[in-house]
Amino acid sequence: MPEEPNIICVLDDDASILKAMRRLLASAGLTMVGFSDPRLFLEYAKTHAIGLAILDVWMPELSGLEVQSRLRDFGLPTPVIIITGRDETGIRSLGLQQGAAAVFTKPFNDDALLEAIRAALPAIG
């Protein structure tokens, strides 16, 4: 399944974050598919090409770090950016150790996030 470099999946249980991310990504010419349920996102990821996943850490059922690990277990090379509402060194370290392209604490700088997306997806830069 070929990657679609402009498809960004965002997983966050906060509807206002999903709405804001959709606007931000659209302003950069990127298409977003949003999810509030980690299990639905993982099912989608198994059958769709994803250029990048932006995962919230603190979610019900599965954390963003667990979702990141499962993507790797599925053998999917999807680049990941982690977002979190808590600035914890351990979370940042673990996300990066698991291969995240970047880790951001909410609220994050829109330009910095777009820069990280471009770095993770050089084809859209």
| DSSP 3-state of 49 | coil
Q: Where are the chain's structural domains?
A: 7-120
Task: Provide the CATH topology of domain 7-120.
Answer: Rossmann fold (3.40.50)
- Tell me, what's the pLDDT at 3? 46
pLDDT tens string, the chain, 125 residues long: the values are 444 546 899 999 999 999 999 999 999 999 999 999 999 999 999 998 889 999 999 988 899 999 999 999 998 888 999 999 887 777 778 888 888 999 999 999 999 999 999 999 855 44
Name residues whose C-beta falls within 8 Å of residue 1's C-beta, 6 or more positions apart in sequence. 48, 49
